[in-house]
Amino acid sequence: MGWVVMSERELNRVEVLAQVNDGRLSVYNAANMLDLTRRQVFRLLKRYRQDGASAIRHKSRGTIPNNQIHKAERDYALSLSHINQLLTNGGFNLS
């Protein structure tokens, strides 16, 4: 198994779920600690028991977002905004 990158929040979830799995912490207390409902804790615990700590990691990490603007479109919009800024600030000064 390779490296799994996790946020502090995800690491905290893994620690709490491990305590629930070992019987050292109740589901009710875990729900309060994680600010989740008992149902959500049971759902996370099921995934944790099946796949381990890596199952708690957010599934869409590392994928390109659906609303990402293509680099060429972004550069074009920035160039238009730069030209617009030059024109509204008195244009080009050749003196």
Domain ranges of the chain: 1-60
CA distance linking residue 40 with residue 35, whole number of Å? 10
**The two structure tokens encoding residue 67:** 């609303």
pLDDT for position 1? 53
Could you tell me the pLDDT band of residue 4, with boundaries at 50, 70 and 90? Answer: low
pLDDT (tens digit per residue) in 9-63: 888 999 999 999 999 999 999 999 999 999 999 999 999 999 888 888 777 777 8
Q: Which residue is it, tokens 């617009």?
A: 84
- For 50, how many CA atoms within 13 A lie in the half-sphere containing its CB? 8
pLDDT for position 79? 82
> What's the pTM?
0.60
